[in-house]
Structure 1
Amino acid sequence: MDLLGKREKPSPGHYDGFISYSRAADGRLGPALRDALHQFARPWYRLRALRVFCDARSLSASPGLWTTIEAALDASRCFILLASPDSARSVWVRREVELWRSRAAERPMLIVLTDGEIVWDHKAGRFDETLTTALPEPLLGGFTEVPLWVDLRSIRTQTDLSLGNPAFLDTVATLASALHHRPKDELVGEDVRQHRRARRFRRFSWTGLSLLTAAAVVSAVVAVDSANLARAQRDRAETQHRKAVSSLLVTRRDQVGDDDPVVAGLLAAAAWRFEPTYEARHGMLASLATPSLGVLDGLGDTRALGPDGRLLAGDDRTMRLWDPVTRGWIGSPFTADFRLAKFSQDGRTLVTLGDDGIVRLRDTATWRPIGTPFTGLRDVVALELSPDGETLVTVAFDEKIRRWDTATRRQIGAPLTGHTDDVESLRISPDGTTLASAGRDGARLWNLATGKGKPLSGLTGTIRSVAFNPDGKTLATGGDDGDVRLWDSTTGNPVKGPLSGHDGPVSAIAFSPDGETLATGGWDQTVRLWDPATGRPVGDTLTGHTSIVSAVAFSPDGRTLVTTSRDRTVRLWDPAARRPVGDPLKGHTKEVTPLLFSPDGKTLISSGQEETVRLWDPGTGRHLGKPIGTPNVHGNSAWPMALSADGETLVIADPDGEVQPWSVADRQPMGDPIKVEHRVYSVAFSPDDETLAVGGGKGIVSLWNPATRRPIGEPLRAGTGPVGAVVYSRDGRTLATISDGTIRLWDTATRRQIGNPMEGITSMVFSPDGKLLAALGEDETTRLWDTQTQQPSGDPIKGHGAVAFSPDGRTLATDGEDWGVQLWDVRTRRPIGGPLKGHTDDVVALAFSPDGQTLASSDGAGTILLWKPGIPSDPRTAVCAMAGRSLSQEEWTRYLPSGEPFQKIC
């Protein structure tokens, strides 16, 4: 039986494409896309440029709907999926996808994102199942490499779905390019030519022989019109080309990611140069939000890393020094053959051990030998030079440690014995009095003058690395168990540890010049930073190396950390990046919320659960006068407070229902308090300081004149429970309230509720322009709500304890994982780097300074930290400054489309 009625079953290749979509989500877009593909670059003498199947346009009456679709799938050369959460749930779309992959896996599939999210997991090599909402389940693991999809979310709801809409035209051109197997720019040009031909043909057909007398005039008009059209089409094609290249570079930037943040940042900067999109800006910010300062892979074989971060590197037998501060070579190269090298602690001398067992000393400024070589040293596995350069220490396979006089080249005293297994590391204290040795049987401390030694108390197992802090009083050891321990170098007793975090042996250790940071590298290919005073990790784990980290060292100013690895790369890091600024602000003993900055940014105000309000200088971290209130050890809630727009008046509400204005300048109460007949849960000044909103129990919001201390009109009814928050928009036209987990918006002029309530909310803050409301949800997420429609804007993001907008509204700060603070790009809803870590309890309050250069955060333990969020106003300039260069010609060729002319990005 012929299931297609009178028509014959289409043959393979009968359709150029098959559009699969959800009618509920894309009932208008699917047919519009099919019609546009038919018309784009269509020659005037043909009915259509392509033949595309779309069920809303292509199906005729037939008794077998699925049989018809099945036949159309078999007859199509390409599958076009309009991806959205609705299509991901559609039974029909799933059946079409499964049938296509089972019968036509070798044929191409194109994805057009119309709603939801598509996120590729680069580590897993597949789509991220937890974040991807727009793809049906059969496609989540159906690609071996990240596909390039077309994003049509911004125009799916537009009324103009025609080729006259530039955004829609760009999508059609992208898809048509794949279906025609022709470059996009060439196809756009063809579309221009066909438009011109069609217009001329119609014009000549209409005029006929009767208009021959006006041919000259008509020709002139046609020429001008065609020229204008050609210019418009050319400009449109160039714009779409720039957007396509920018989108491609953002994708390439995400693929490079943290493996090489410098190149990743430059790719994002290049994307911004082609088209300044939100995605390109986020790419630059993401690269800036990493501690990495660069990756060096052209230095050759790294033979030694100096205590000041200088590298001895080169190829074959030719070596030279490289300076991490200037990022350039130092002096001239030298030729030598050696298998082991070690810098003196002042970096002025290089000790080398040759394959012939000869040890030589060289001046690193001239590379000239210092004295005669040491001879007769056999089977040496490690060596170390004393700070004064007068003593050389070596250890051989026999586990015996020997001391040598560098002036006479003679051995000093008897060998130091005590180790019973291989010794792998030697380190002399900065004052030259103590030697630390480590190996398979633990670690020992030696008096370098007397040769007397003792093991570190209770330490067993293999120790791979040791390091003294700058004053020599503390020794750090790294073991095969992945733990780092700190010891008193005088007594040999433990003082801190274990510092756990590495997954495998700790192969490298170094203290910063000020002794306040400890860097460790491991077999797990990571570098970690620690606070030796507390034994806690500091900042992010530094990742990027692809093999064992062999050495770590700080530059003399402590601003650069240099790491080497068996992957033959050298990486530079900023050890201070994404760390709190200065010491924690301590004074509160319980949860601190809220935090307020004065308008000039010179004062930070905090309220603690112990019932005190404190004022701080954020520049110095010092208290400004005595705290307001008397500490109450039984206090269980922080006092609500609000700061006037002029910064002169601070209003504090106590548990008894009194709202007292205070002078910020002299910390004295201003007149009598406002007496409210209910407990106060929240307060807020209007932007003009003429109204004070007071949120109380039973859903009551009362409005007061702060000058006269009198109520203004009748209270607002915001619900039935306590009003946990009252917030004014910046223009003062809207007041937001929360009661019973519901946000209500009020017109401050009419005092009437605006729109529908927003439910499931615990806290909120307006964006600076008042168009968005960031609300913390009961589902432990943060949603951005459109204040005009009272509808969620985009998908929710993580963070449920605190939220704050930056002054420019482009960045959102929320509480992050592991007691951290997370920054988000508001436009893309993507995180900017990892969490800012430093708190020891849940983050409960956040506040940006007025200039956006400082972010304050507080936690449940009463600690306040200050951060430099590092969001520059000009990310491209910042990326170029970080990289210190532009994309190279080789990188340009590797990442840019073929034939794209090279240009300097920086």
Structure 2
Amino acid sequence: MRAGLRRRTTRADTGYGAFLSYSGERDRAVLPLVQNAIEKLPRPWYRFPRTRIFLDYSGVPIGAELWGKIVAGLSRSEWLVVVASPEAAGSKWVDREIEWWLANRSPETILLVLSAGSLFWDEEAGDWDRARSTALPPRLFGVFASEPVYKTLKWRADANGVPRPDIDAIAVGIAAVIRGVSEADVKSEGYQQTKRNLRWARTAIGALVILLVVALIAAVVARVQSNRAEEQAKIATARLMASVADTKMATDVRAALLLAVAAYRLDPSPRHRAALLRANLASPKVARYVAAPAEVTALQSSADGRTVVAGLADGQVVTWAPGGSVTTSVARLPGEIRSLAVAADGRTVLATDGASITLWGSNSGRPDFGVPGASEVDVVAVSASGKFGAVHRKETEAAEGTPGTVDIIDNAGGRVLSSHPIDRAVTSMVFTDDTALRLLETDGKVRQISLRGGADRDLSPLDTGPACGDGQDVGELSPDGSSFTCAVLPGIPAPVFRLRPTPSAVRPEPGYVGVAMPRRSAPAVLSRSARIAAVPSADAGFYVGPVTGEPRPPEPPPLITGTAVDFDRKLLRFLGTSETQLVSASGRLITLWDLAQRDRLAKSLAVPIVKGCNSCEPSLSLSPDGRTAVITGQDKDPGESALNSDVVIIQQLGPNPSRQLSIPGLSGKLAWRADGTMLAIAANPASGYERRVFPPKPHVETPFEVTVLSSPPPQISVEAAGVSSVSPTAVSLDSRGRAYLHDLATGGISSEFIPLGGAVDTDHVVEAGIDAAGEFLVMRDAEHISVYDLARQQNAHDIDGKDAQSVLFAGRHLLIRRKDSIEIWDRTGSNRERTIPFRSTRNSAAQLAAAADANVVVAKDEAGYLTVFAADGTNLGELEPDSVWHVPSAVALSADGRYLVTVNPGPAFSGGVDGTLIERDISPDGLIRAACAHAGPDLTGAEWNALMGVARPAQARCP
């Protein structure tokens, strides 16, 4: 029994014996006493508590931030103790915890404790009596096959007649079930333990020398156990971090990135490397975060997109160069910044806190302006050149929406040029140039004030009535002053009103942005050209779509999520003239969004490769050091011809990827000498000509030698090629199963032979490969796989190939992709080293990539999804397809497993866009570096505690 009890002991830092689910003030006061009683039941003084109990001290209702901790507590608990009461029966959060438990655990691990109300079992129905069971949460009806035994929390009067709960009875009952022993054994543990301690004490007195030896041994054992316990505690904490990171990926990418880094640094296992990769790929449109010194209250972007300006709650005005790591303070006012504006080049900023105005920039002779007494400023504007400013002010005592005044300011001289009374309050002001200012009023009317003559024109989109309708908020003018939007009810397309160019012009038809669920009272944000709009979602995130004449476009834009955006303060802007980059803010965090970004790991390069046909993917090979990519395919011809020619492109990767070389009129299979000093191109017959290609000597300046191997006869393609590591020869295999030996000095064919002796029918070879040393050849037909020893020119081994889909040499390993697994063999095919279970949910494709030691393996399916595996078979994650032209892409992995590279062809028409080469650093160091760089500021102590509720390890930080 004692051994059993020891096995059931639950360390505080690795899990919980039970999770207490409850609701109501009465149980909130009682359950901490129950928790304390269970954890303090008798135990040896030198051991941790036998049973730890998870209890949410904050009670209900709970919020979204706490639910991640609740799920973590549930997932680490062995039993669920439901404290039944009328309050629990009416709590949706108790039901939510039970729902999670039933989805992930057995009903037999649920214990019931009745604290108030009643429970009645209906024998005839075989379930709880729904009418009389007033304390049972609804999720527990229909769960138990027979009436379970439950405990009732009893109350007894103490010596003073005050009712007290019988805590010990409930604690012993719960502890007995969790430990799997009787209540009598639990109660008698203290007595048994005392006898055992006394017996040891008498033995110690009689045998001091023996005890000393035992103590030394025990110290060593304790040290080992302590180290093991610490390691297990680290792993448990790392798993909790990774679990919380997963729950935050859709709503708080920054937290997910930082927690995933912390988890991997605490426990650098494949499991946490997978969490790190998932976090880097989650919400791919989030590009970067930066932290402001205080809460952001106003946000703008310069027209050139190089400067983001933010006004803060403490009165500071800061600037940020998108992509930079810090903000720069440029001005300060006494109060919270209410409005600000920035010139096109970002060198002039006008800001107000309502009571004062500040002007910052190289052209400002006077940085501050006074505000007349009994007035307050709520909206400011700056012309694109920075020469002029505009200030809307109203009387302090006036009611909301009452008339005010717009002052036109000469920024250089610091003086008011003119003042213009207006009928209503304004939502925004925009200079269309240095001669005109447009004002959008709260009822949707638009006025244009001439800076030269002071003329006032009405450019409103409607002749009468509020533009947005009664009760609907008016948004802001687009940065070019041509349009504005309204807030609408969910399910209604967001309208975009176009302004009349002149008062007498015909009223333009409005545009629309059709989205699923816009957020009421938060208008859309327009790009500088007003062709694209960002519409806040009713739940979280936003949509970005074109402004069209159709209220409901056939393809609504996708929802973009990843971090919080303060829509109420209008803290979402397009970056400069871009229609794919935006900047937003919430709290102290400023976020850069890039809708064209594939993910935060991807580095894209244009390569002039186009699709030859819908099933003709290019070929891709990486140099042994992983810093050069070689691509063969169809070249994009910028001239008149729509049919493009063969080409080999040599693209340098790394920090300076600008170097790109082309070898026109050539295609074939690629092979490297193991030391990277030579690239051999086993040529195919010339495209468009039924003729053999003889080995030309390409004139390209590269760090390695490039040689061309003679092609097979016309209409016969090359299937595989390799360079010998011990002799100046190369070998290639054509589609008829005929092998050729080449002289590397000339590229010519020295001899040819048919690799016979194996089970593969060489007349029907569907795939072949040659290892990096040029010593072994693998061939596959419909039913067999044969490995051929090229040096001895004899078959080495045959492997069953009935369900094989692809084969690949990786260093000294042979990989075989089957329908439900990836097998890793030695390169001779004689010994299967390990198997990675994997069955794609989509149709699989015959393409694999692997590191030289097969410690990283990548499988691509027909849809273009890439699944990455670690050495132990852990699925590290899945990357979405990079191809956009519905053409199979090519994939390669560097020999060290660090760089994952894909090549995607462009469209096959003259003058079309290039194809794309995408490089990702998927090494742990690369993933950590990317996560820390994009996450920006590390989590503060308060943020960490709110997310985790446990102490942060010292190593769990960025960078």
TM-score range, shorter chain: 0.5 to 0.7
2:289 aligns with one of 294, 300, 307: 294
How much does 1:650 deviate?
Answer: 0.9
Map 1:770-781 → 2, pairs under 5 A = 770=813, 772-774=815-817
Distance 2:380 2:332 in 1: 25
CA contact 1:405–1:412 (8 Å) conserved in 2? no
Identify the residue that residue 666 of structure 1 maps to in structure 2.
699
Identify the residue that residue 780 of structure 2 maps to in structure 1.
738
Identify the residue that residue 868 of structure 2 maps to in structure 1.
824
CA contact 1:758–1:790 (8 Å) conserved in 2? no
How much does 1:589 deviate?
Answer: 5.2
How much does 1:706 deviate?
Answer: 2.1
Identify the residue that residue 169 of structure 2 maps to in structure 1.
none
How much does 1:276 deviate?
Answer: 1.8
Distance 1:695 1:489 in 2: 69
Identify the residue that residue 648 of structure 2 maps to in structure 1.
615
CA contact 1:528–1:541 (8 Å) conserved in 2? yes
Identify the residue that residue 888 of structure 2 maps to in structure 1.
843
Residue 562 (structure 2) pairs with residue 543 (structure 1):
yes
Question: 1:519 and 1:578, CA in 2 relative to 1: closer, same or farther beyond 3 A?
Answer: farther
How much does 1:793 deviate?
Answer: 1.1
SS in 2 for 1:270: helix
Map 1:402-481 → 2, pairs under 5 A = 404-406=408-410, 409=416, 411=418, 425-429=428-432, 464=475, 467=478, 481=493
CA contact 1:521–1:552 (8 Å) conserved in 2? no
CA contact 1:342–1:352 (8 Å) conserved in 2? no
2:245 aligns with one of 237, 253, 256: 253
Distance 2:848 2:450 in 1: 56
SS in 2 for 1:234: helix
SS in 1 for 2:571: strand
AA matched with 2:257: G
CA contact 1:361–1:369 (8 Å) conserved in 2? yes
Identify the residue that residue 311 of structure 1 maps to in structure 2.
310
Map 1:677-826 → 2, pairs under 5 A = 679-680=716-717, 682-685=719-722, 688=725, 690=729, 692-696=731-735, 701-707=737-743, 708-711=750-753, 713-714=755-756, 717-719=759-761, 722-730=764-772, 735-740=777-782, 751-752=794-795, 754=797, 756-768=799-811, 770=813, 772-774=815-817, 783-787=821-825, 788-789=831-832, 792-797=835-840, 800=844, 803-805=848-850, 822=866, 824-826=868-870
Distance 1:889 1:434 in 2: 47
AA matched with 1:593: P
1:284 aligns with one of 267, 276, 289: 276
1:508 aligns with one of 525, 529, 532: 525
Distance 2:793 2:249 in 1: 51
Render the CA deviation track for 1:758-812: whole Å, top value 9, x for unaligned.
Answer: 444544444456264456x6xxxx8532334398512334674555335675655
Identify the residue that residue 106 of structure 1 maps to in structure 2.
111
Question: 1:241 and 1:235, CA in 2 relative to 1: closer, same or farther beyond 3 A?
Answer: same
Distance 2:942 2:299 in 1: 29
Distance 1:14 1:313 in 2: 58
CA contact 1:446–1:453 (8 Å) conserved in 2? no
Residue 232 (structure 2) pairs with residue 244 (structure 1):
no
Identify the residue that residue 581 of structure 1 maps to in structure 2.
604
AA matched with 1:504: P
CA contact 1:300–1:313 (8 Å) conserved in 2? yes
TM-score, with structure 1 as normaliser:
0.59
Question: 1:373 and 1:263, CA in 2 relative to 1: closer, same or farther beyond 3 A?
Answer: same
Render the CA deviation track for 1:623-679: whole Å, top value 9, x for unaligned.
Answer: 7456216xxxxxxxxx65233435343112238997746456338996864449x84
Map 1:493-504 → 2, pairs under 5 A = 504=518
Render the CA deviation track for 1:498-552: whole Å, top value 9, x for unaligned.
Answer: 99878637733457xxx9x9894634643678999xxx99999452226638334
Question: 1:838 and 1:596, CA in 2 relative to 1: closer, same or farther beyond 3 A?
Answer: same
Residue 593 (structure 2) pairs with residue 593 (structure 1):
no
CA contact 2:813–2:854 (8 Å) conserved in 1? no
Number of paired residues?
696
CA contact 1:598–1:643 (8 Å) conserved in 2? no
Distance 2:328 2:104 in 1: 61
How much does 1:682 deviate?
Answer: 1.9
CA contact 1:886–1:904 (8 Å) conserved in 2? no
SS in 1 for 2:832: coil
SS in 2 for 1:581: strand
Residue 681 (structure 2) pairs with residue 650 (structure 1):
yes
Question: 1:735 and 1:822, CA in 2 relative to 1: closer, same or farther beyond 3 A?
Answer: same
CA contact 1:304–1:341 (8 Å) conserved in 2? yes
Render the CA deviation track for 1:110-132: whole Å, top value 9, x for unaligned.
Answer: xxxxxxxxxxxxxxxxxxxxxxx
CA contact 1:814–1:846 (8 Å) conserved in 2? no
Map 1:113-512 → 2, pairs under 5 A = 179-180=178-179, 222-289=214-281, 290=284, 291-294=286-289, 296=291, 299-300=294-295, 302-307=297-302, 308-314=307-313, 318-321=315-318, 323=320, 325-328=324-327, 330=329, 333-336=332-335, 340-345=339-344, 346=346, 348-352=348-352, 354=354, 360=357, 362-363=359-360, 370-373=368-371, 385=383, 387-392=385-390, 404-406=408-410, 409=416, 411=418, 425-429=428-432, 464=475, 467=478, 481=493, 504=518, 507-509=524-526
Question: 1:220 and 1:625, CA in 2 relative to 1: closer, same or farther beyond 3 A?
Answer: closer
Render the CA deviation track for 1:814-870: whole Å, top value 9, x for unaligned.
Answer: 6689x8764635357546586365633233322346685572412473552122313
AA matched with 2:408: W
Identify the residue that residue 604 of structure 1 maps to in structure 2.
630
TM-score, with structure 2 as normaliser:
0.56
CA contact 1:561–1:573 (8 Å) conserved in 2? yes
AA matched with 1:294: Y
AA matched with 2:630: L
Question: 1:900 and 1:431, CA in 2 relative to 1: closer, same or farther beyond 3 A?
Answer: closer
How much does 1:271 deviate?
Answer: 2.6
AA matched with 2:524: S
CA contact 2:680–2:707 (8 Å) conserved in 1? no
SS in 2 for 1:706: strand
AA matched with 2:920: P
SS in 1 for 2:235: helix
Distance 1:643 1:492 in 2: 68
CA contact 1:309–1:323 (8 Å) conserved in 2? yes
SS in 2 for 1:335: coil
Distance 1:820 1:264 in 2: 26
AA matched with 1:564: S
Distance 2:624 2:269 in 1: 32
Question: 1:833 and 1:766, CA in 2 relative to 1: closer, same or farther beyond 3 A?
Answer: same
Q: What CA RMSD, in Å, does the superposition of the two structures yield over aligned residues?
A: 6.3
AA matched with 2:110: A
Distance 1:377 1:42 in 2: 73
Question: 1:844 and 1:771, CA in 2 relative to 1: closer, same or farther beyond 3 A?
Answer: same
Question: 1:665 and 1:434, CA in 2 relative to 1: closer, same or farther beyond 3 A?
Answer: farther
How much does 1:312 deviate?
Answer: 0.8
AA matched with 2:227: D
Question: 1:461 and 1:107, CA in 2 relative to 1: closer, same or farther beyond 3 A?
Answer: same
CA contact 2:290–2:327 (8 Å) conserved in 1? no
Distance 2:404 2:659 in 1: 54
Question: 1:221 and 1:825, CA in 2 relative to 1: closer, same or farther beyond 3 A?
Answer: same
Distance 1:832 1:104 in 2: 32
Distance 1:380 1:98 in 2: 53
SS in 2 for 1:604: strand
SS in 2 for 1:283: helix
Aligned-pair identity (%): 15
Distance 1:254 1:387 in 2: 46
How much does 1:378 deviate?
Answer: 11
Question: 1:344 and 1:642, CA in 2 relative to 1: closer, same or farther beyond 3 A?
Answer: closer
Distance 2:542 2:853 in 1: 35
